[in-house]
A and B are shown apart, each in its own frame.
Chain A
Amino acid sequence: MDLILTFMLLFPLIGAMFNALVGWRLPRRLGEGVACAAVLGALVMAVAGFVLLGQGTLQVTLLDWLAVGDFSVSFSLLYNPLAALMALMVTFVSNIIHLYSVGFMREDEDWARYFCYLNLFVFAMLVITLADNLLFFYLGWEGVGFCSYALIGFWYSDPANAAAGRKAFVVTRIGDVAFGIALALLVYLFHSLSLSDLHHHATMLSPGLAALLSLLLLWAAMGKSAQLPLTVWLPDAMAGPTPVSALIHAATMVTAGVYLLIRMFPIVSQSPLALMIIAGVGAVTTIYGAAAALGQRDIKRVLAYSTISQVGYMVLAVGAADIIGGMFHLLSHAFFKSLLFLTAGYVIQALAGEHDIFKMGNLRRLLPHIYWPFLIGALALSAFPMIGGFFSKDRILLATFISPGVSYKVFWVLATVAAFITPLYTFRLFCLVFQDRPDGSTPEEIKPVPNFMAYILWPLALLALLDGMLNLPFGPGKRWLGVYLSSMPGSRVDLGAPLAYELGMGVGSALIIVAVIILTCYLYRPPGPAWRAPGWQALLFEAFYLDKLYQYLLVGPYRRLAVFWWQGADEGGIDRGLKGAAAGVEVLSRGLGHGTSGRLSTYVKMLLVGLTLLLTALALKFFL
């Protein structure tokens, strides 16, 4: 088993090193092949590990990393059902995306750099998935951050792309400040950073400390998972190649924050206050993201805001102490959102780089290969009844509703409203892109795209369609996921809600969602909506001006102050002061005026000559 886990990590790392060191000199097919094979190897290992593990828990120490006094950190892994599932999802989605990328990047000369970063990303993401020691976890955490930075700015010759990558890195690093502090606090409290140790000692925490720790972890998760108020990097991150958005900014890295909270749930769950704040952040973010998605024109930005909103549900699930629901939604979201991104990538390539959905249309006719996968993704995202996303979202709403306290009822209202906005923005997108419109795309505009890129999406599409079966509330295989994950401390297989609630909410939301979908299709029927509300549209398009606000309040002043400190304080103040002192000395010495030329450099030279003589004398003295 140790070997399986080691190889799961090593394969992508070796693949990355191969493409970094030699791959770029070798034929393209070979480099791509190695990258894909590396990820396939990881998938095989993940499957093998999943099968062999059963429901056990395994702690493996690979190597020592650093040790000072009696504090030590090693590269150690904690392999339990949660990690096994996550590893399966990560390696599976990575495989699809690597294969898709071979097609997507077919015209890019810089493929070696691309696949190197992509492999490295898979390695780092698996580190997050498997790590036992939180410092090792942090290595993966920063590693995915770096890969995300490098891949967002992959087409660096446009400064805007590189700037988007930089923004993503800095904003997530703002979150990581709290992660670092949490690590320091854990070392202070437990003298260990090993998750398995922490789980044992979690109950010893006082409520205050548990709350503090949880909030620090929440802040870290907000950065990585683009939750309010640290959402601003994710929409810009769409500057990267679309497969990257699918892998990093939909399926895996953005959910790492949620995964952290689930992994640390034994500590997080000690503080009801922290849980409530977590739920609040999630709930507000769901509706924020959904509303902003409604105002976007760029196909990828719609999906980006939708990701923000959907990850909000996962955070809400953690806050409602339903980690199984959170994990359930994390998995189904990974499938349908990466599916949607990959179909969007296909559309964008077919339209020669067009991102604006208002300039699309007619694609049902023009790109039939991609129509059905996209429709399945859209239905799953909308939580269409009996499709994957429906069960997971419903469970989270239910868990929120039955949580005690008025605040959870408010969160439930927010999240439910967001759930009804979701089909609205999804089918607005779908109708604008695929429906027949007189002013839509024409056959002449369509560039050829390999069909392979559409076929490879079917595994994802099937999973998106059927992954509700992982945790059906009824029938055969009932709550398989919940039972499988039940060994996790604090997990609830059955929420214990009255049947009436469960049925009522399920049927009610199903009806409303179907109604909203029909309404949307009606609103956006050709030739498209006629109404205009410029103020509202701008507000939503700018996502409530959050980004502009940060620019105005933080980024601008920071830059201006940097210039001021440099030219005003450093050169104008300190250096001039010191120079003034030197000039004073010079004037003084000239006043004394004996045998001086008044030039500082002459003094220095004389000083050095004197020193040299002194040294020679001393050295002679030593040897004689």
Chain B
Amino acid sequence: MTADSLLLVLVFFPLAGSLLALGAGYQPRLCRWVSLILSLMQMALISLLFFLDLQPHSGPTGTWLLAVDYPWLEGIGARFSLGLDGLSLLLLWLTAFLTVISVLISWTAINLKVGLFHFFLLFLEGCLMGLFMATDLLLFYLFWEIQLIPMFFLLGIWGHARRIYAAVKFVLFTFGGSLFMLIALLVLYVLHGHQTGEYTFSLYQLSQTPLSPTVEGWLYAAFLLAFAVKIPLVPLHTWLPDAHTEAPTAGSVDLAGLLLKTGFYAFFRFAFPLFPGAAQASIPLLLALGLVGMFYAAWIALAQTDIKRLVAYSSIGHMGLMVLALGIWNLMALSGSLLQLFNHGISTSALFVMVGMLDERLGSRNFQDMGGLWQQMPVFSAFFLFFALSSMGLPGLNNFVGEILILLGAFQIRPLIAVLAFVGVLLTVIYILRMVQDSLFGESRRVQPLRDVTPREVLILAVMALPVLYIGLHPGPVLRLFESSLQVMWGQFPMLARSLGG
């Protein structure tokens, strides 16, 4: 058994663990501990990979740090192949980390069908593990669609008042988008088969399919649509605020921290290498969508009355900047953008976690019911300010590093776009400060006292603050990981490097 087969463990351990959690569901306490231990083990396992000193090596599915490739549906040429590179590794770690957080924050908040809840959490973790490593398109599509199931139920069962509406909207949007991707995928599969006689879903092989520009454009558009819904890009974003507003805290954490990342990840991992020509042609579109997203979402966020909706809109804005970096496509901007994936996963999740804590105490997420929280909950407020500052990109904290790399990188190629993006970042400051002011400062409007954070909550927040500081002050190792991933990617997909530069 080689280190490569660890990848299988990474996918199937949480899936098997989810059944265990379901089984332990008859006793909520036991179930919580089981889920916590399982998710911690998974996180430890992934952390181990950072220390293995993995080197990229090439195999039948391309060049990866670790890869497995097994026959799966032999009749149609689909294989169970997974590959790990620096980007996947970091996203896997993020997934495992946020799953631990999700279990911890649901400790007292979830009392209904506890077993089922943790089953879905761990099941979702397993799906995402597979999704972030799949190098076979059919396998990827499978994970892509299946992640909807746990998310749908997390929203639909444990959500707030309008949960069914939000859950259905979420599934319809994403499923509607990905149907186009399925069609495009099948077309690509058939075309490749026709031309080479070899029917395969392998990303590596499909990326070498010669396509006429028209066909490539249409296929790319279908992928774009699927991923744009998930990221989400304006104007396909309206499911997101609703989903967040209705989701339980753990659902929001997974949604913002992980599910949105799958859209961007897929864009980067599949759409660009498969259709480099079309991707190049789409650059003005990506830049425009990214900028519009930044401005539009940040502007709207300012007007929100529900704090969770504000954070949801902030997500859309942040993702806009990352998509803009895709359109820039140089080493600096891409490194920043990949780092931002991780940063956004931590900071925005932390804000959702804190909004959840607030909701548990106030029974409301409306700014009208807040104000003066610092007086009653100083520790909570200090953490909230910290994560808010991280989200608005204060230097020394994580988001700054990603943002400044994107902006500096963008300026090297497209100064005008970069100047606009610099202005866009300013809008973030405006709504973040408004959020902080209307919640923490001002006169306290409540008569009954609020209890400050419990030790469990302090633990959660402190643990989430560590990566914020680490990335903010010492991002070097992570950036090197991305750099080698990007170099490998450009070596692996010469057409991509040729059309977009690398």
Quick check: A600 and B433 within 8 Å, CB to CB?
Answer: no
Residues 226 to 270 of chain A near chain B (Cβ within 8 Å)? none
* Residue in chain A with minimal CB distance to B333: A68
CB neighbours (8 Å) of A611 from chain B are 145-146, 148-149
Cross-chain contact B396 with A139 (CB below 8 angstroms): yes
Interface segment, one of B270-278, B357-365, B399-407: B399-407
- Complex CA gap A319/B375 in Å reads 47
Per-position 1/0 for A141-169, Cβ under 8 A of B: 01100100100010011110111001001
Residues in B with CB closer than 8 Å to A563 are 303
Q: Bound complex: CA of A145 vs CA of B401, how far in Å?
A: 18
Residue in B175, B423, B441, B480 whose CB lies within 8 Å of A153: B441
**CB neighbours of B335 from chain A (8 A):** 68
- The reply to whether A157 and B426 form a contact with Cβ atoms under 8 Å apart is no
Among the 9-residue stretches B94-102, B280-288, B471-479, the one with 4 or more Cβ atoms under 8 Å from chain A is B471-479
The residue that B412 contacts in the complex, of A170, A188, A615, with Cβ under 8 A, is: A188
- A582 an interface residue at 8 Å Cβ cutoff? yes
Q: What's the Cα separation between A559 and B427 when bound, in Å?
A: 12
Contact: B441 with A71, CB < 8 Å?
no
A567 contacts which chain B residues (CB < 8 A)?
Answer: 303
**Which chain B residues border A622 with CB–CB below 8 Å?**
70, 72, 80
Interface flags, A557-579, vs B, CB<8A=1, else 0: 01101110111001100110010
Interface members, chain A 186-211 (any B CB < 8 Å): 187-188
Q: Does B268 contact A (CB under 8 A)?
A: no
Query: Binding site of B, secondary structure by majority: helix, strand, loop or mixed?
Result: helix
Q: Mark B277-313, 1 if CB is under 8 A from A, else 0.
A: 0000000000000000000100110111000000000
Chain B residues near A618: list those with CB within 8 A: 72-73, 142
Contact A565 B296 (CB under 8 A): yes
Contact B394 A562 (CB under 8 A): no
Contact of B171 among A170, A561, A575, A604 (CB under 8 A): A604
| Complex interface: chain B residues within 8 A of A614 (CB) | 142
Contact B441 A562 (CB under 8 A): no
Q: Confirm or deny: B159 has a beta carbon within 8 angstroms of a beta carbon on chain A.
A: no
Chain B residues positioned under 8 Å from A600 (CB to CB): 168, 172
Within 8 A of A (CB), among B454-487: 473-476, 479-480, 483
In the complex the two chains form, what is the Cα distance from A135 to B442 in whole Å?
Answer: 34
**Interface-located stretch among A174-182, A371-379, A477-485, A515-523:** A174-182
Q: Report the minimum CB–CB distance from B393 to chain A (whole Å).
A: 9
- Beta-carbon contact of B411 and A157 below 8 Å: no
- Of A180, A185, A559, A618, chain B has the most CB atoms within 10 Å of the CB of A180
Contacts A65-B473, A574-B238 given; does A180 touch B149 at CB 8 Å: no
Instruction: Say whether B476 contacts A177, CB under 8 Å.
Output: no
Given A146-B394, A608-B149, A621-B72: A157 and B372 interface contact (C-beta under 8 Å): yes
Enumerate chain A residues within 8 angstroms of B148, measured Cβ to Cβ: 608, 611
User: Do B164 and A601 have beta carbons less than 8 Å apart?
Assistant: yes
How far, in angstroms, from A173 to B234 measured CA to CA in the complex?
Answer: 26
User: Considering residues A24, A608, A615, which has the most beta carbons from chain B within 10 angstroms of its beta carbon?
Assistant: A608
Shortest beta-carbon distance, A239 to chain B, in Å?
Answer: 12
A562 to B300, CA, bound (A): 5
Knowing A64-B476, A177-B423 are in contact, say whether A604-B429 is a contact too (CB < 8 A): no
Binary per-residue interface labels of chain B (145-183) against chain A in the complex, 1 for a CB within 8 Å, 0 otherwise: 110110010000000000010011001110100000000
- Residue A69 interfacial (CB < 8 Å): yes
The answer to the question of A67 belonging to the interface, with a C-beta cut-off of 8 Å to chain B, is yes
Shortest C-beta distance, A155 to chain B (Å), equals: 10
| Structural contact, B152 and A181, CB atoms closer than 8 A | no
Cβ–Cβ < 8 Å partners of A149 in chain B: 433
- A575 to B410 Cα, complex, angstroms: 32
Are B171 and A162 neighbours in the complex by a CB distance under 8 Å? Answer: no
Q: A143, B426: Cβ atoms under 8 Å?
A: no
Q: Does B419 contact A (CB under 8 A)?
A: yes
Per-position 1/0 for A47-68, Cβ under 8 A of B: 0000000000000000111111
Q: Is the CB of B152 within 8 A of A604?
A: yes
A183 sits at the interface (CB 8 A): yes
| Cα separation A170 to B431 with both chains bound (whole Å) | 10
Please state if B411 and A184 are interface contacts (CB–CB under 8 Å): yes
Which residues on A sit within 8 Å (CB–CB) of B429? 169-170, 173
- Scan A107-124; emit 1 where CB is below 8 A from any B CB, else 0: 000000100000000000
In chain A, what residue has the closest Cβ to B473? Answer: A65
Cβ-based interface call for A20 (8 A):
yes
- Determine the chain A residues whose CB is within 8 A of the CB of B488 once the complex forms: none
Min CB distance, A124 to chain B, in Å? Answer: 9
Q: Which residues of B contact A539 (CB under 8 A)?
A: none
Cβ-defined contact, B430 with A170, below 8 A? yes
Residues of B close to A601: CB separation below 8 A? 164, 168
The 8 Å CB contact of B422, one of A177, A558, A608, A621, is A177
Q: Given A173-B429, A184-B407, do A159 and B238 touch, yes or no (CB 8 Å)?
A: no
Flag whether B113 is at the interface (Cβ < 8 A). Answer: no
A157 and B375 contacting across the interface, CB-CB below 8 Å? yes
Q: Are B299 and A66 touching (Cβ within 8 A)?
A: no
Determine the chain B residues whose CB is within 8 A of the CB of A66 once the complex forms: 401, 405, 475-476, 479
Q: Give the top 9 A-B pairs by smallest Cβ distance, nearest first.
A: A184-B411, A162-B441, A156-B441, A562-B303, A139-B395, A575-B238, A159-B442, A562-B302, A566-B300
Jot down 28 A-B pairs with beta carbons below 8 A, ordered by A.
A65-B476, A67-B476, A68-B336, A68-B483, A113-B378, A156-B442, A157-B441, A166-B437, A169-B433, A176-B426, A177-B425, A180-B425, A181-B422, A184-B422, A559-B302, A559-B303, A566-B303, A567-B303, A575-B238, A600-B172, A604-B172, A607-B175, A608-B148, A608-B149, A611-B148, A612-B149, A618-B142, A622-B70
Binding site for A on B (CB under 8 A): 70, 72-73, 80, 142, 145-146, 148-149, 152, 164, 167-168, 171-173, 175, 234-235, 238, 296, 299-300, 302-304, 331-332, 335-336, 371-372, 374-375, 378, 382, 389, 394-396, 401, 404-405, 407-412, 415, 418-419, 422-423, 425-426, 429-430, 433-434, 437, 440-444, 473-476, 479-480, 483
Give A residues with C-beta under 8 Å from B: 20, 24, 63-69, 71, 113, 135, 138-139, 142-143, 146, 149, 153, 156-159, 161-163, 166, 169-170, 173-174, 176-177, 180-181, 183-185, 187-188, 558-559, 561-563, 565-567, 570-571, 574-575, 578, 582, 600-601, 604, 607-608, 611-612, 614-615, 618, 621-622
Known A612-B146, A622-B70; further 9 A-B contacts with Cβ < 8 A: A66-B475, A68-B483, A71-B332, A181-B422, A558-B302, A562-B299, A565-B296, A601-B168, A611-B148
